Chain A
Amino acid sequence: MSESPGPEVAFGPGALVVMAGYLVVMLLLGWLGRVSRKEESLRDFYLGGSSFGLAVLFLTLFATQYSGNTLLGFAGRSYQQGLTYVVAVTFMILVVSVLMVYAPRLFRLSRKFGYITPADFVFHRFGSHPLRALSVLLLCWGLANYVLEQLVAMGHAVEAISGGRIGFMQGVLLLALVMLVYESLGGMRSVAWTDVVQGSLLLAGCGAVLWGILASGGGLPEAAASVAEHHPARLDAPGARDLRVWISNLVLLGLGVAIYPHAIQRLFAARELRSLRRSLALMAFMPLVTTLLAVLIGFVGLGLFPELSGVESDRITVYVLGSMAGGSAVAYWLVVLVLAGVVAAIMSTADSALLSMGSMLTKDLYLPYVERGASRAKLLRVGKVLSWAIMALLILMAWISLETESSLWLLIKLKLEFMVQLVPVLVLGVHWRGFSASAALAGMVGGTVSTLVLWIGAAAGWWTDRSPAGISAGVWGLALNLALCVALSLWQRRPAAAASDSRLSGSRG
């Protein structure tokens, strides 16, 4: 292992025993999910039979929404960008506000028509095969990136916890295997029950770090003094271009994260509306605990370790925790708790995304286009095999990522730039009856292609910036997407309206 620029925590065997115990509990919950299944059906496997009450629903939403990336990637971004990254708190709250715009209608439809995946709604609403297939491909593209990002975070976390005794790839393989086993055993029910443990760990861990940061040493004022000395620009408010980046982040992440398919499937999995409403109300406050914490970790880390490189700064959470752990035995075990929370956050997000991918590939592509008459048992088998195959491919990609210098943030960007192209279909689709299938398809294709062109052009050196004027490619694509959706839908209504007018005038004449 190369020399670390920050203090690594020297974890003893006790911490590793705690982690091993945690993994055993995960497997036990997977088995419990298996024996608690009500029937062999896609709804039972992928939505837990829509049986989750307030506690399970809130904790599974929480553990799924806040990933390893929140505590590792966001903190790194805060380190690199400075306080302007406080926008992350706002866009994570905005995610729940956006859900308030379309979830009431989508939840109602899911209850009446039994949706299992978001693409069920897309096909029901628009009746277009190409639109359904493209939606699934874009969502799976985003989710695959999401899982890959979690695998990379897993490797870093296990390496940190074991003090390098367990290598990056060994950590990835170990946690991925545990995840696949409990997910294949009980599907969403197992995943949600493990989320309860993982979400509780994450909440407790976040609380411990927040307390540590604010109470230890000089707290924020001391960090600010150090940042002012070494990187004064990172205390500055955004300038004109940075304000556009701020707004672009609000749009890209506030809208993009709000349509995560695994989050939508948790809406479908609610036992009753009251639990769902209360869970979402609680979720609206969670960014003030978790995302704000990540921003503060980056800020305090900037004061403590001012000279980290881009890739090193992705580990700033580990370094800050390392500096906290040196104090006392209590601090040491608090850090163990936090790192267990980080691992839990990573696993809970990855398993949910993997399950969601398996459900969409099985229900929305395999069933209608490969084997229409497949039995329930066959479909469940196909879904599980697909999950294992996807995971194998992503582990290979995580290994490849070891050889590259890509920062976690780049992966997030790639994910959301494409997923956000589904916003018109889901948000506008539940509100505007005149929104046509061909307009939706044209918008989605136009938005995706223009986003790709901006990315490829920047990579090929045709232009320097893939975020022209500070606005990300995905937001430009979304703007084109929306314009096409609205313009084409209105244009297509004109001939029908004109024909109707002429019939009316004919009958009068």
Chain B
Amino acid sequence: MDVLGHPEYGDERDDESLWEAIRPASEPSATRWFLPAVLLLLTVGTPWHATLGWSTAMWNGLPLWVWISLACGAGLSGVTAVAAVCAWRDPDLEPSDRAGTGSPTPAARASAGRTVR
């Protein structure tokens, strides 16, 4: 049912259409590197190693464990940014994601447009 141009899914919601539409051509969580890299950086960036004593030395006004945590944070930023720009591909919504094609197809242009006002 369509109320005022907005979908009210109610009893007529179509589960099949949702699951058919849900998956982009590629996404960060489907790559082999994104989630392991995030977990690795979070693990190394958590200062459990400071309890061993070697990372409590001061360097440039901050303890070494703080610098390690910040470096892992910077790494996490980098991994996330690469994932956003390189691992998220959706030619249906972004015609330039269709590798090797010049202009978008009419179907891609149509699906990239908004369906509901």
B-contacting residues of A (Cβ < 8 Å)? 39, 41-44, 50, 83-84, 86-87, 89-90, 93-94, 96-97, 100-101, 104-105, 107-109, 111-114, 116, 120, 123-125, 127, 219-224, 235-240, 243, 246-247, 250, 272-274, 277-278, 280-282, 284-285, 287-288, 292, 363, 367-368, 372, 374-376, 379, 430-431, 433
- Contact partners of B13 in chain A: CB under 8 A: 123-124, 127
Asked if B105 is at the interface of the complex by the 8 Å CB criterion, the answer is no
Which residues of chain B come closer than 8 Å to A240, judged between CB atoms? Answer: 51
A41, A124, A250: residue with the most chain B Cβ atoms closer than 10 Å: A124
**Nearest B residue (CB) for A47:** B114
Verify if B36 is at the interface (C-beta below 8 Å from A): no
Give the residue of A101, A123, A238, A376 whose beta carbon is less than 8 angstroms from that of B50.
A238
Min CB distance, A452 to chain B, in Å?
A: 29
Question: Restricting to B58-116, which residues have a CB under 8 Å from any CB of A?
Answer: 58, 60-63, 65-66, 69-70, 72-74, 76-85, 88, 90, 92-94, 96-97, 111-112, 114-116
**How far is it, in angstroms, between the C-alpha of A376 and the C-alpha of B117 when the chains are bound?**
11
What 8 A-B pairs have minimum CB-CB distances, sorted nearest first?
A114-B116, A220-B61, A237-B50, A281-B81, A273-B94, A221-B61, A284-B80, A104-B27
Q: In the complex, are the beta carbons of A114 and B94 less than 8 A apart?
A: no
**Pairs across A and B, CB under 8 Å, 26 listed:** A39-B117, A41-B4, A44-B117, A83-B62, A83-B63, A89-B69, A93-B73, A93-B80, A96-B80, A97-B80, A104-B90, A109-B21, A113-B7, A113-B115, A120-B7, A235-B63, A243-B51, A273-B97, A281-B81, A282-B81, A284-B78, A284-B81, A285-B77, A285-B81, A288-B74, A288-B77
Contact: A124 with B18, CB < 8 Å?
yes
With A and B bound together, what is the CA distance between A96 and B77 in angstroms? 8
Instruction: List the B side residues contacting A238 at CB < 8 Å.
Output: 47, 50
- Secondary structure call for the B interface: helix
Known: A89-B70, A111-B114. A100 touches B80 (CB 8 A): yes
Pick from B18, B19, B56, B77: contact of A237, CB under 8 Å = B56
Instruction: Answer whether residue B33 sits at the interface, using C-beta atoms and an 8 A cutoff.
Output: no
- Cα-based distance from A97 to B29 in the complex (angstroms): 10
